[in-house]
């Protein structure tokens, strides 16, 4: 194990990281992803129902935010990068709200396909609390499409991603298992060397090892355990072995494994893995969407010329910021420029 390099506010390493962040507006990243609407409904506890032993909530507030691949897109935009999204939305209210949010950030939406037969993936979180108290999630309701995007939509996704890739410095794949970002779609985009030399960074919830052609990946530890059929726990040797096996099997140049309050591990080429402790407090407020912040920052840094360890440090710092915010949140370029030990 190699520990992360020490940093001080005046160190050359920190100055280098800040310069990388400052260059984000010069890069363009294509995001192929499953676009999700994260809906939050908050109610104040009024009483216990007479119909059943459940709380009755008085509705107070509703917000719909970008989730999944849409959250990675929003994070890139807030980091100052130019982002070109490719995905599918239904012609429904959640889809319209996501498009409205993209337009408000001046994100091009011509690569976002709209289809009447497709339901926008919507994850509704019901939160309860008293006046002036913290909000507690009590239940989540997921509304998902009945099937993956049809063959015609997938062909259009490939065409849009190919076109965008020609103007991009990197491509980010955000696969939540809903069919808009699959191994087959990535293979089709890669045909005839269209992505040669370009960083292709992958986040796949359920099928990490099925991909070929990615240059980097950002799984969390439970995803690695599931993919490799092992239990890691606090065993650094086991984590290192799993990471090296993934690097070899997927032919990756870079890999970071996020570990919650244990920080992350960064793998690069044949170098020893680097243990990067969590940035900031381990008393997190909300982990919703933190993985999207990590892959967005990591991809932007690689596209801006960072090496694996530098990109991982920036991603770790961004993750430490976003988990202190409630709901599905992002990190701004200004926040990331305050990087410190």
Query: Would you place residue 134 in the very low, low, confident or very high pLDDT band (cuts 50, 70, 90)?
Result: confident
pLDDT value for 10:
54
**Paired tokens of 204:** 């796949």
**Paired tokens of 141:** 């309701």
Indicate whether 128 belongs to any domain: no
| Mean pLDDT, residues 122-136 | 88
Q: Smallest Cα–Cα separation from 183: which of 207, 149, 159?
A: 207
Decide if 221 contacts 255 (C-beta within 8 A): no
- Quote the CA–CA distance of 90 and 133 in Å, as a whole number: 36
**Paired tokens of 276:** 């990067």
Indicate whether 56 belongs to any domain: no
- Quote the CA–CA distance of 326 and 135 in Å, as a whole number: 9
% of residues, the chain, pLDDT over 90: 73
- Quote the CA–CA distance of 316 and 310 in Å, as a whole number: 10
pLDDT value for 6:
46
Indicate whether 265 belongs to any domain: yes
What confidence tens digit (pLDDT) does each residue in 186-198 have? 999 998 777 888 9
Indicate whether 127 belongs to any domain: no
Indicate whether 54 belongs to any domain: no
pLDDT value for 9:
46
CATH number at residue 189: 3.40.1190.20
**Paired tokens of 35:** 């676009």
Query: Would you place residue 143 in the very low, low, confident or very high pLDDT band (cuts 50, 70, 90)?
Result: very high
Q: What are the beta bridge partners of residue 2?
A: 274
Radius of gyration over every alpha carbon of the chain, rounded to an integer in angstroms: 20
Active site residue 292: yes
User: Measuring CA to CA, how many Å separate 125 from each of 48, 155, 337?
Assistant: 20, 33, 32
What confidence tens digit (pLDDT) does each residue in 146-166 have? 899 999 999 999 999 999 999
- Quote the CA–CA distance of 223 and 206 in Å, as a whole number: 7
What confidence tens digit (pLDDT) does each residue in 167-181 have? 999 999 999 999 999
What confidence tens digit (pLDDT) does each residue in 228-285 have? 999 998 999 999 999 999 999 999 999 999 998 888 999 998 788 999 987 765 554 5
Indicate whether 202 belongs to any domain: yes
Angle between helices 93-104 and 69-78 (to 10 degrees): 20
| Mean pLDDT, residues 119-145 | 91
Decide if 294 contacts 315 (C-beta within 8 A): yes
- Quote the CA–CA distance of 295 and 58 in Å, as a whole number: 37
% of residues, the chain, pLDDT over 70: 93
Indicate whether 328 belongs to any domain: yes
Range of the domain at 209: 2-36+67-119+148-336
Indicate whether 42 belongs to any domain: no
Q: Smallest Cα–Cα separation from 215: which of 321, 299, 97, 133?
A: 299
Query: What letter would DSSP give residue 50?
Result: S
- 187 vs 12, higher pLDDT: 187
Q: Longest C-alpha distance within the chain, in Å? A: 65
- Dihedral-angle region of residue 281 (phi above 0 means left; psi in -120 to 50 means alpha; beta otherwise): beta
What confidence tens digit (pLDDT) does each residue in 106-116 have? 999 999 999 99
Place of tokens 């194990």: 1
* Three-state DSSP class for residue 130: coil
Q: Smallest Cα–Cα separation from 39: which of 59, 23, 24?
A: 59
User: What's the structural domain count of the chain?
Assistant: 1
Q: Helix, strand, coil: what percent of the chain each, to 5?
A: 35, 25, 35
pLDDT higher than threshold 50 for residue 87 = yes
């Amino acid at each position: 194990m190699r520990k992360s390099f020490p940093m001080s506010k005046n160190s050359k390493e920190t100055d280098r990281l800040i310069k990388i962040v400052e260059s984000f507006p010069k890069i363009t990243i294509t995001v192929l992803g499953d676009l999700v609407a994260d809906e939050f409904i908050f109610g104040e506890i009024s009483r216990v129902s007479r119909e059943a032993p459940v709380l009755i909530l008085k509705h107070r507030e509703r917000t719909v935010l970008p989730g999944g691949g849409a959250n990675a897109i929003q994070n890139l935009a807030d980091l100052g990068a130019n982002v070109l999204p490719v995905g599918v939305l239904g012609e429904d209210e959640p889809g319209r709200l996501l498009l409205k949010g993209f337009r408000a950030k001046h994100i091009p939406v011509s690569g976002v396909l709209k289809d009447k037969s497709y339901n926008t993936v919507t994850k509704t979180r019901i939160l309860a609390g008293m006046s002036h108290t913290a909000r507690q999630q009590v239940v989540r309701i997921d509304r998902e499409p009945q099937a993956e995007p049809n063959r015609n939509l997938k062909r259009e996704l490939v065409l849009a991603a190919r076109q965008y890739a020609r103007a991009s410095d990197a491509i980010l794949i955000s696969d939540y298992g809903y069919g808009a970002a699959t191994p087959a779609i990535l293979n089709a985009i890669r045909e005839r060397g269209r992505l040669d030399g370009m960083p292709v960074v992958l986040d796949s919830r359920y099928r990490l090892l099925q991909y070929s052609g990615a240059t980097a990946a950002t799984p969390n530890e439970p995803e690695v355990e599931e993919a490799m059929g092992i239990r890691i726990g606090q065993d650094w040797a086991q984590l290192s072995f799993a990471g090296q096996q993934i690097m070899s099997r997927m032919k990756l140049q870079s890999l970071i494994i996020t570990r919650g309050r244990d920080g992350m591990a960064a793998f690069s080429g044949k170098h020893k893995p680097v243990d990067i402790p969590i940035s900031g407090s381990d008393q997190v407020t909300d982990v919703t969407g933190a993985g999207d912040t990590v892959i967005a920052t990591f991809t932007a840094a690689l596209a801006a010329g960072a090496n694996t360890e530098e990109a991982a440090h920036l991603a770790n710092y961004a993750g430490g910021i976003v988990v202190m915010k409630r709901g599905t949140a992002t990190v701004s370029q200004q926040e990331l420029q305050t990087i410190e030990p």
